[in-house]
Homo-oligomer: A and B are copies of this chain.
Amino acid sequence: MDIAPSPLARPFPEMPPIDGAILRVARAHYKTWDRADLTYAELAPGTTVAGVFTTSACASSEVELGREQVKLGSARALIVNAGNSNAFTGFRGREAVEQIMAQVATALGCEPSEVLVSSTGVIGVPLPKDKARDGVAAVLEAQPCSWDEAASAIGTTDTFTKGAHAAAMLGDKRAELCGFIKGSGMIAPDMATMLGYIFTDAAVEAAFLQEMLAKANAQTFSCITVDGDTSTSDTVLAFATGKAGNPPIASWDDAGADAFYAALLAVCRELAQLVVRDGEGAQKFIEIAVTGADNNASAQRVGMSIANSPLVKTAIAGGDANWGRVVMAVGKAGEPADRDKLSIGFGGVWAARDGQPLADYDEAPVARHLEGQEIRIDVDLGIGDGRATVWTCDLTHGYISINADYRS
Decide yes or no whether A90 CB sits under 8 A from chain B.
yes
Q: A61 vs B104: C-alpha distance in the bound complex, in angstroms?
A: 65
Residues of B contacting A323 in the complex (Cβ-Cβ under 8 angstroms) = 124
The yes or no answer to A336 lying at the interface (CB within 8 A) is yes
A399: interface (CB < 8 Å): yes
What residues on B are CB-neighbors of A125 within 8 Å? 357
Q: Which of A18-26, A152-160, A267-275, A327-335 contacts B (4 or more CB under 8 A)?
A: A327-335
- Given A310-B403, A339-B59, A404-B314: A229 touches B90 (CB 8 Å cut-off): no
Q: Provided the pairs A228-B310, A327-B124 are in contact, do residues A57 and B333 lie with their beta carbons within 8 angstroms?
A: yes
Answer yes or no: A45 CB below 8 A from chain B CBs.
no
> Chain A 337-348 against B: per-residue CB contact (8 Å), 1 yes, 0 no?
111101000000
Residue interface bits A93-128, CB-to-B below 8 A is 1, else 0: 000000000000000000000000000001111000
Residues on the B chain within 8 Å of A340, using CB: 90
Report yes or no: A328 in contact with B192, Cβ–Cβ below 8 A. Answer: yes
Residues of B within 8 A of A399 (CB): 310, 314, 400
Copies of this chain assembled into the complex: 2
Q: Tell me the smallest distance from the CB of A192 to a CB of chain B, in Å.
A: 7
A56–chain B nearest beta-carbon distance, Å: 3
**B56 contacts A331, CB within 8 Å?**
yes
Decide if A70 is an interface residue (CB 8 Å cutoff): no
Do the beta carbons of B58 and A327 come within 8 Å of each other? yes
Find chain B residues with CB under 8 A from A339 CB: 57-59, 88
Q: In the complex, what distance in Å separates the CA atom of A339 from the CA atom of B337?
A: 37
Beyond A88-B356, A314-B399, 9 additional pairs, beta carbon < 8 A: A56-B331, A57-B336, A57-B338, A88-B327, A187-B325, A227-B311, A228-B310, A230-B331, A318-B407
**Cross-chain pairs A/B with CB under 8 angstroms, 6 sampled:** A54-B331, A88-B327, A88-B339, A123-B327, A187-B325, A192-B324
